Amino acid sequence: MFKKLNLLLAFLSSLAILFNNTNATKCYECNNCPIDSVKNVAISDCPSQFCLKVVSSVAGRTSIEKKCSRVCLSGEQNTLGVSIKNYCCGSNLCNSTSKSKFNYFITLSLFFSFIFCIRIF
């Protein structure tokens, strides 16, 4: 019984270390950024784990903002002629284009964590 508990604690501690982002993520940061270009765009060391690109469109005018983000919420909202698209990613300088990046490593880690926990209990 104690052996399984010790294994579980060691495993959970390893996961905490794995997902603890001690290094800052580098993200492009700007307001009214050039469309899909990173020329003359500032690069920041962000304390948060994610980078975000927000594309807003109102009456045919498009505005792009690139910044750091604490949460990763990609998606699109359309309300009363206003379109807002969020593109989120979690690697260095990944908010240069409009493509969302999917982190396969984290997904596989969570999958194997789930399988491991099922086998313990």
The backbone torsions φ and ψ at residue 47, rounded to the nearest 5 degrees and listed phi first, read -70, -20
Which one has a higher pLDDT value, 59 or 5? 59
Q: How far apart are CA 16 and CA 13, in angstroms?
A: 5
Which one has a higher pLDDT value, 12 or 33? 33
Predicted pLDDT at 97: 72
Strand 82-89 with 75-79, pairing: antiparallel
Sign of the dihedral through C-alpha 28, 25, 76, 101:
positive
Contact present, 44 and 69 (Cβ < 8 Å): no
Predicted pLDDT at 101: 46
pTM of the predicted model as reported, rounded to 2 decimal places? 0.61
| pLDDT tens readout for residues 19-30 | 544 467 999 999
Asked if residue 52 has pLDDT above 80, the reply is yes
The domains of the chain are located at: 2-120
CATH class (in words) of the domain with range 2-120:
mainly beta
CA distances from 58 to 65, 82, 84, 101 (A): 14, 5, 9, 26
Predicted pLDDT at 27: 95
| pLDDT tens readout for residues 53-108 | 999 999 989 999 999 999 888 899 999 989 999 999 999 999 987 554 445 555 66
Q: How far apart are CA 67 and CA 53, in angstroms?
A: 7
Predicted pLDDT at 17: 45
Average pLDDT of the segment spanning 109-119: 70
Average pLDDT of the segment spanning 32-46: 86
